[in-house]
Amino acid sequence: MQTLNQSLLDHILAIAFQAGEHLKQFYAKSVEIQIKADKTPVTEADLFISRFITEALKQLTPHIPVLSEEFCNIPLSERQQWQEYWIIDPLDGTQQFIDRTDQFSVVIGLVQQNKPVLGVIHSPILDKTYFAMQNHGCFLQENGQIRPLMAEVNSSEQSPYSLQITLGSANFAPVEKCLLAPYHAQFFKYGSSSLKAGLVAEGKADCYVRFGDTGEWDTAVAEILLQEVGGEIFDLHFKPLTYNQRETFINPYFVMVRDRNRDWQKIFQFN
């Protein structure tokens, strides 16, 4: 099993930064777009970055398999033998990349014994990089400065019934219907799934609610980020998500929260 240490994390950060430089070059020109079987777009940038990161990881750790969103056609019978594996989303927020919102990222994570233990989310245009390693904390590098992201501290000026909720869609009504009185929310739309997780880890959002399909590569790195700041991810039955334990990689709908100690079952009721 790969030992978790600062050297490994530094190598992964370096790979993410290099991938980000490649992404900037693609972003500066028009890219070829195809539509995948699941009706989502994929660009030549996704495919190039996927190959680039996969090769870099294979050079770094030849014994660890790599699972990429763009190359994930591996049956469970083969995958369930894995004690550990890299999980990558080479371009999280392909639609944001196409729409030129700047809100997209490179995501690289390490999963051991079906639990995410290390992860990097690098947004090259926003110049923001989130990274975390099990029992080593969660950090944000922004404009060259690195700062630790800490667990929730209750602010006296904040109403205990007011929530900041980030979503991928501007249609807030379905989530609003699930809020129990006396809770109320301010909603805001933001880019890629991983960057919304970053906002939760930073404390800029109390939670991110997702009623829509995502893949395990969309949540694995978020798991370790949130774990290190005292948060968590749960499905609409308030159960944890799983990794590499099902034939499909599609997650159930979920909620990412910053404070796992809040009684979320008193805040949300999902039918």
Contact 69, 90 (CB under 8 A): yes
Q: What number of other Cβ atoms are within 10 A of residue 59's Cβ?
A: 10
How far CA 189 is from CA of 115, 165, 263, in Å, comes to 29, 9, 24
The phi and psi torsions of 37 (rounded to 5 degrees) equal -60, -30
Structure tokens at 134: 């099990």
- Is 93 within any annotated ligand binding site? yes
Q: Please check whether residue 56 is in contact with residue 86, taking contact to mean a CB–CB distance below 8 angstroms.
A: no
259 labeled part of a ligand binding site: no
Does the annotation list 230 as a binding residue? no
92 marked as binding residue: yes
Q: Is 231 annotated as a binding residue?
A: no
Whether the ω angle into residue 124 lies within 30 degrees of 0, i.e. cis, is no
Strand partners, 147: 140
CA pair distance 88, 129, nearest whole angstrom: 15
Q: Does 223 belong to an annotated binding site?
A: no
Q: CA-to-CA distance for 115 and 139, rounded, in angstroms?
A: 19
What six digits make up the tokens of 60?
A: 């770094």
Q: Give, to the nearest 10 degrees, the angle between helix 216-228 and helix 193-202.
A: 10
Residue 218 counted as an annotated binding residue: yes
Sign of CA dihedral 259, 262, 264, 265: positive
Numbered residues of the known binding site for substrate: 69, 91-94, 218
Residues tagged in the binding site annotation: 69, 89, 91-94, 218
Annotated binding-site residues for Mg(2+) read: 69, 89, 91-92, 218
